[in-house]
A = this chain, B = another copy of it.
Amino acid sequence: MLRKLHYFHLNGLAESSRYMLHYAGLEFQDIRYDMATWPIKKIKDFYEEGDRRLNQSIAIARYIASQTNLLPSDPWEQAVLDAAVLNINDYRSKVREYYFNWILETDPVRKEQLGNGKDEFESETNEFYLSRFEKELKANKGYFGGKLSWADFYLVGCIETANLFAGYEIEEMYPNIRALVKTIRSLPGVKEYIATRKPYI
């Protein structure tokens, strides 16, 4: 069965799925585009398996997890991870919105205002969300669900993308998040993939 993951050459929405596929040893084509060659307007990423196609990064990540040992079978345990992923996604949206507004702003006055608000935005948004994730990880042996799952991969993908935007390691002050990033980056499959991938800019 031929698996294909289509996304920009960026970590963004796809990196957690790429990590899981490499970790699980599931063979796939890692197809990458730039803005000019992206084939489907208004869809951000998609996944193919044979002649079946799926969009929405969270649906894709969850499906890949279901093909590995990264999704528990108990419905309540699954729901706790779903909620964690959706909370992480809320954070991701806010980070993305802020940076895109700032990057795309052409009026120099408004751009300076947004730039001056950067520290405040980062400290408020990061503090609210990251302290919440830190607390959840701490209460569950360093993972959202008490053991490694797709929610942990989803957080790490989001943190790495936020770091690319922010230009520094936003998880610096959160020891459990830092440890999780390190754990996932050291997993068999993921480690080798990171060593060979081209840098994201």
Minimal beta-carbon separation of A71 from chain B (angstroms)? 9
Q: Encode contact with B along A57-98: 1 for CB under 8 Å, 0 otherwise.
A: 011101100110000000110111011001100000000000
A82 cross-chain contacts in B, Cβ below 8 A: 56, 58-59, 62-63
A63 cross-chain contacts in B, Cβ below 8 A: 75-76, 78-79, 82
- Whether B79 contacts A59 by the Cβ 8 Å rule is yes
Size category of the binding interface on chain A? 20 to 34
Instruction: Tell me which residues from 141 to 172 in chain A have a Cβ below 8 Å from any Cβ of chain B.
Output: none
A42: Cβ under 8 A from any B Cβ:
yes
- Copy number in the complex reads 2
A55 cross-chain contacts in B, Cβ below 8 A: 83, 87
In chain B, what residue has the closest Cβ to A90? B56
- Whether A86 contacts B58 by the Cβ 8 Å rule is yes
- Whether B54 contacts A83 by the Cβ 8 Å rule is yes
Listed residue (A56, A87, A128) with the most chain B CB atoms within 10 angstroms of its CB:
A56
- Whether A86 contacts B42 by the Cβ 8 Å rule is no
Taking a contact as CB atoms closer than 8 A, the residue among B42, B56, B80 that contacts A128 in the complex is B42
A66 to B72, CA, bound (A): 14
A197: Cβ under 8 A from any B Cβ:
no
A127 to B90, CA, bound (A): 26
A56 to B91, CA, bound (A): 13
A83 cross-chain contacts in B, Cβ below 8 A: 54-56, 59-60
Contact sample, A vs B, 7 pairs, CB 8 Å cutoff: A54-B83, A56-B83, A59-B82, A63-B76, A63-B78, A63-B79, A67-B75
